[in-house]
Amino acid sequence: MPKLVVVTHPNLNQSLVNRLWIEELANLGEVVKVHSLYEKYPDLKFDIQAEQELLSQYDEIIFQFPIHWFNVPYALKKYIDEVLAYGWAFGPGGENMKGKKIRLAASTGGDKAAYEGGVSLDDLLKPMTISFKFCGCEVLPTHRIYGASHGLEEEAVKANAKEYSSAILA
Ligand SMILES: Cc1cc2nc3c(=O)[nH]c(=O)nc-3n(C[C@H](O)[C@H](O)[C@H](O)COP(=O)(O)O)c2cc1C
């Protein structure tokens, strides 16, 4: 069963991590469908019904994004607010996300040490994971890479990308 990867990155041309993650996913062929929100909707005016229909087709969905201001990019928050609507994802008749497996894949600029001993990446992502659980989803472990703003080598990102695709295949 193919898996959907919803990518939220405002400028993939200038990306290292998210671009290499997508390149690695391309090797998986039809196992994954990559859906880039900024490419499909440069103005971020989502076709909510089309997006709901797309999500409905997949049992496992990965949301891939860079951390922006200790949060998901606002485009992804907008997507969640609009697409996971009352009566569709929750509330009366809102059972369309129920039972789906959700995985987050997040990149940070801050290095690993910046996320240890204080607020962790998992802490930052809690509103997302709680929201998906609220909709009846099973939340899988987050795939991650730290340190994009700290001289992360391309080879390290490529190795991390292989771990990402292995997790998706598992
Ligand atoms: C507007 C903006 C806000 C950011 N805020 C954070 C942040 O709060 N914490 C952090 O670790 N990195 C932050 N970053 C760095 C990005 O997370 C990092 O550049 C990105 O994950 C690298 O992925 P990429 O190579 O695919 O662009 C921010 C970057 C931008 C553009």
% of the chain exceeding 90 in pLDDT: 98
Q: Which of these CATH numbers, 3.30.1280.10, 3.40.50.360, 3.40.50.720, 3.40.50.620, describes 3-169?
A: 3.40.50.360
SS (H, E, C) the chain: CCEEEEECCCCHHHCCHHHHHHHHHHCCHHHEEEEEHHHHCCCCCCCHHHHHHHHHCCCEEEEEEECCCCCCCHHHHHHHHHHCCECCCECCCCCCCCCCEEEEEEECCCCHHHHCCCCCHHHHCHHHHHHHHHCCCEECCCEEECCCCCCCCHHHHHHHHHHHHHHHHC
Q: What's the CA gap between 78 and 83, in Å, rounded? A: 8
Q: How far is the CA of 6 from the centre of ligand 1 (A)?
A: 18
User: Where do the structural domains in the chain lie, given as residue ranges?
Assistant: 3-169
Ligand 1 atom having least distance to the Cα of 18: 26
Q: What's the CA gap between 43 and 39, in Å, rounded? A: 9
Summary mean pLDDT of the chain: 97
**Span 33-83, pLDDT tens digits:** 999 999 999 999 999 999 999 999 999 999 999 999 999 999 999 999 999
Query: In sequence order, which residues have a C-beta less than 8 Å from that of residue 26 and are 6 or more positions away?
Result: 34
Confidence at residue 1, expressed as pLDDT on a 0 to 100 scale: 82
Confidence at residue 55, expressed as pLDDT on a 0 to 100 scale: 98
Phi-psi region of 136 (alpha: psi -120 to 50; beta: other; left: phi over 0): left
Best mutation site among 65, 68, 107, 121 for ligand 1, i.e. most ligand atoms within 8 A of its Cβ? 68
